[in-house]
Structure 1
Amino acid sequence: MPTRCQLRGWWIVALLFGLAASVILPWQYLPGTPFTLQRIAQWLITGATLLVAGLALRRELYAKLSLAWQGPRKLVALPTLALIVAAVLLAPLPRVALLELSYLALLAALILLVAVATPCLSTWGWRLLGAGAALFCLVYAVLALDHISLVWDFGNRHDFGPGFDNVRFFADVAAGVMPLALLYVVVRPRPSWLAAALVSVPLGVWWWMLWVSESRAALLGLITGSLLVLWLFGRAARWPLATLAVSALLGLLGWWLLNPLVQETAASPFLRDITSSSGRLALWSDSLRYAWQHFPLGLGPMGFADDGQLRSAHAHNLFLNIAAEWGLPLALLLLAVTLKACLDIRRRVMSLDAAHQPLYACVVLGFVSVLVNVQFAGAQVMPVSALTLALVVGLALGFRPRQAPHEQHDTVSQAGLKGTLLWSLMMLMLGYQAVAGVSLHALSRDSSATCFEAMGRSSYYPRFWPQGRLECMRLEAPAHWLLQ
């Protein structure tokens, strides 16, 4: 009979399967734009998780957040809260800013929920998590190969991330899911070559798609994560790293021998100049300029989608995006929190017993991979990509050898009313997301033609919905309540 703590941990497995369903079902069975369908799926999964797991873990969640208000930390927490409120209220579009705040706040809440529930994952929970990730990789690999075979003679690089509006969104998911699939190898009484071989095949297909589509950020994240895990864990990580290395070599060999995008007469096996920044340097430069010119509050939340430049609606870098839109102080605080989390992970690795190190090596590999990837992408604001980020980061921050239920209960503040109020606030944010998000979706749909005409080409620059440029929405509906 599962204990109450085990039941609290198993919803993390459900979150992984929800992530997989968000990728496969809209692609295979539902008509419509994948980006929109995946955004709806992400909202439903996040809402259901916060509703059910958030209610069950509201005390633990409040206890985790209350640590920021204890002792000297309060001297940092109070100015931080004041900056957040000021950034929303003084933004050029406060209602859009509130939508962005609710989105990021609930994403952070999801990360914390995963973190507080992770110690409750039983051995079977970890096994099912690894098996689920490996099964996801296998099913997607088979479906992707079938799709690619049909478009082999005329496809482009976006066909190497089928089911996504942009191949980069596939790369965001791959950066986090591929390391979790390695759990299938190590979360068993004894690692086996058979398990490693079974995982290597679908992972090899995922590597092949990353190589052919030249998804540099995800590739850099996985390689950087592997090197750091090798340094942190040494021999304890030999099984997951060896499995990942073999699958990477299989994918690289496939890229060299089976690459329909490169012609035989091409001078280079690359489709483009891989040393270029793909426009990111200009975005990053503008981010720093906005942060300096609009110090200390930045352009305002979602301001990159309304800066008068008809281009990407985000900076392709998590910290620079926060600096430009929320202000340099909040960006530096987020950087400090991230570095503190890295140090905590380092200390946890040093204190872990040998039996748990291979498992944690897979989780840390995913953590490093998604963090590196999000410095070159906008995974935090993309559907499914954000779910992957929340799942992997939460697992890494919350991992520890499983405690007895009474040991966990003793560490939780008995603040039932405050926890309930916190949960109620999350539900209010979720409700505002539903109302404002639907309105923004309608605006994005109606303003697409206007934005295309202004740009002179048909191209999407997404943020919350397929068309994320707020200036185009203002041209289409200047009196809309969101744009006042």
Structure 2
Amino acid sequence: MGLSIEQRGTVFLVAVVCLLVGGICAPFSGHDLQRAMQIAIVSCAVLYGLTVTPLPRLVDRPTAFGLALIIGLGLVSSALAHQPLWAFTEVAVFVGCGAIATAFAVLRRNGGEPLDRVLVGVVVILCLIKSTQYLYAGALAFASGERMLDPDLLLSGFSNKRFYGQFQTFTLPLLALPLLLPHVSRSLRGAVFALLCVWWLIAISGGTRGTWLGMGVAGGVLAVLGPWGRRWLGWQLAAVLGGLLLYWLAFTALAGYLGIEVSNGASERLTTSLSGRGPIWSQAWHMLVERPWLGFGPMQFADIANSVAAHPHQAILQWASEWGVPSALCVALLAWRGGWATWSVLRQRAQAGERADLLRLCLFAALVGALVQSMVDGVIVMPNSQVWLALVVGWLLALHVGRSAPTAALPWGWAAWKAMSVLAVGLLIAIAVRDVPHITQAQQQYLGGHGNHLQPRFWAQGVIAR
């Protein structure tokens, strides 16, 4: 006898949670492991989507048409690119993220509100594990007798502290949800608040200005979304003050008492410098001007070698220079429609305190923060961030209250999407099988001949220029 739809959803959820915990919390984790984790999650999402019938309609016709147009333009741009295989791989990543979002939307639609508790529980567990790792590393550093301490060395599980910051941009808003729920016990509320303070301590010590900017804008947006939005902002501001206090106690008071000098302090990040983004923004702009209609092809920014990065650290410039301006406008329009639809629901239900409404509020804050951060950072490039962006979008789709009664999806539309998803995951697996056995050797060769740091894109060594 085959598994029921609920059992298949449980298997998918357990697999994804295990992959997320392994890809984020393993001490040896990094960009390449997280890319492999993403490919595995895409595979699970596609398999889950193939087994669920009938499928509900998750998006309206204009959105479906817009997505089809984006994929179509991406395929044409890829065929004309200098390195078509890598370009098609980037399109496959986009489709794979769509498969993840679809799977989570269907999972939540079928599983109902109990899955909201699972989502928040997973976020709490992940943040608790990472916070424990950070505090343990800090305790070892202070007890080591060394006269110099770099807070960046306390961060683990990510190839770059900015990638850690992107993960925090998604989880800081969600971690505040238990503080908003009315029936949470005082002891549990205090424990979650303490965890949120430590999570902010890590965000402050990590010095990722994109996270600070994204959370600041998200707080400003939620402040005008009614009393629950302002309560969310109040808890976040209290946790920021708690994080600042912990930072001062650890890296100023205690470090000074022990005679330890702290390098790379958070105050050193309070600048308006572009941190080397000027040259790569200029490169993306010149690419856009040279080929405005179809761009150079997905991932082809990495085909033009530079000394800074394999992506522009700016979502709009990246999409326009690689996929073309029409595709970028279509993406921006879909993002605006989706954001406006969620904003409208939040305004209509501003006084409601149901769990689903509060979760929608926190998810929207995470989405706003991530989109703002993507204007100065590689949120749409890093594998873990892509997974969380897809998860947030998918969950919001499932929670969305449409104006019209739900209707069944068009059979031919779902058939085309399933076929595209299967092809995408097949290409991603093929690329992984081809490259993974030689990743270490390729990185050593690149470092030996091109500088002293890797430039992540698909893999940690992301420059595809030959």
Mapping of 1:176-195 within 5 angstroms? Answer: 176-187=170-181, 190-195=183-188
Q: 1:53 to 1:185 in 2, by over 3 A?
A: farther
DSSP 3-state at the match of 2:383: coil
Which residue number in structure 2 is paired with residue 461 of structure 1?
Answer: 455
Structure 2: distance between partners of 1:108 and 1:16? 18
Counterpart selection for 1:206 from 183, 194, 199: 199
- For 2:318 and 2:54, how far apart are their aligned partners in 1? 30
Distance change (3 Å), C-alpha of 1:461 and 1:322:
same
Q: Matches of 1:294 and 1:147 in 2, distance apart? A: 48
Distance in structure 2 (CA, Å) of the matches to 1:7 and 1:99: 28
- The aligned amino acid for 1:143 is Q
Letter in 2 for 1:242: G
Taking the aligned partners of 2:263 and 2:418, their CA distance within structure 1 comes to: 57
Quote the Cα distance in structure 1 between the aligned partners of 2:230 and 2:413. 45
Cα distance in 1, alignment partners of residues 376 and 365 from structure 2: 18
Amino acid of the residue matched to residue 115 of structure 1? Answer: A
Aligned residues: percent identity?
24
1:480 is matched with none
Ranges in structure 2 where 5+ consecutive residues have no aligned partner: none
Q: TM (normalized to structure 1)?
A: 0.83
Structure 1 position 337, deviation (Å): 1.2
- The residue number in structure 1 matching 2:163 is 169
Structure 2 CA distance for partners of 1:238 and 1:198, relative to 1, 3 Å:
farther
Query: CA RMSD for the aligned pairs?
Result: 3.2
Check conservation: 1:131, 1:181, Cα contact below 8 A: no
Q: 1:160 to 1:323 in 2, by over 3 A?
A: farther
Q: Partner residue of 1:446?
A: 441
Partners of 2:36 and 2:432 within 8 A in 1: no
Aligned to 1:482: none
1:430 Cα deviation from its structure 2 partner: 0.7
- What amino acid is aligned across from residue 177 of structure 1 in structure 2? T
The gaps in structure 1 that reach 5 residues or longer are 475-484
**CA distance in 2: counterparts of 1:440 and 1:453, whole angstroms:** 19
Identify which of 320, 323, 328 aligns with 1:323: 320
Letter in 1 for 2:228: A
Q: Tell me which amino acid in the other structure corresponds to 1:40.
A: A
The Cα offsets for residues 69-112 of structure 1, whole Å up to 9 and x where unpaired, read as 88xx6xx6776555322201100011111111111111123223
- Corresponding residue of 1:23: 24
Instruction: Select 1:216's aligned residue among 206, 209, 219.
Output: 209
Q: Give secondary structure in 1 for the equivalent of 2:251.
A: coil
Is 1:251 matched up with 2:249? no
Choose from 132, 138, 143 the match for 1:148. Answer: 138
**Matched residues in 2 for 1:58 and 1:281: separation?**
49
Counterparts of 1:269-288 in structure 2, within 5 Å, are 270-272=267-269, 274-288=271-285
- Aligned equivalents of 2:129 and 2:360: distance in 1? 25
Aligned partners of 1:290 and 1:299 also within 8 Å: yes
Is 1:299 matched up with 2:296? yes
SS in 1 for 2:279: helix
- CA shift, 1:441, in A, is 4.1
In the other structure, the counterpart of 1:477 is none
Q: Give 3-state SS (helix, strand or coil) of 2:219's partner.
A: helix
Q: Secondary structure at the match of 1:451?
A: helix
Return the alpha-carbon distance in structure 2 between the equivalents of residues 333 and 139 of structure 1: 39
Specify the SS of the correspondent of 1:348.
helix
Alignment partner, residue 479 of structure 1: none
Aligned to 2:308: 311
The 5-angstrom pairing of residues 289-438 of structure 1 reads 289-352=286-349, 354-356=352-354, 357-400=357-400, 411-413=407-409, 415=411, 419-438=414-433
1:182 CA drift (Å): 2.2
- Report if aligned partners of 1:119, 1:401 keep a CA contact under 8 Å in 2: no
**Are residues 166 and 104 of structure 1, via their aligned partners in 2, closer, same or farther at CA, if it must alter by over 3 Å?**
same
| Cα distance in 1 between the residues matched to 2:134 and 2:210 | 21
Question: Could you tell me how far apart the structure 1 residues matched to 2:270 and 2:344 are?
Answer: 40
Counterpart Cα distance in 2 of 1:35 and 1:269: 24
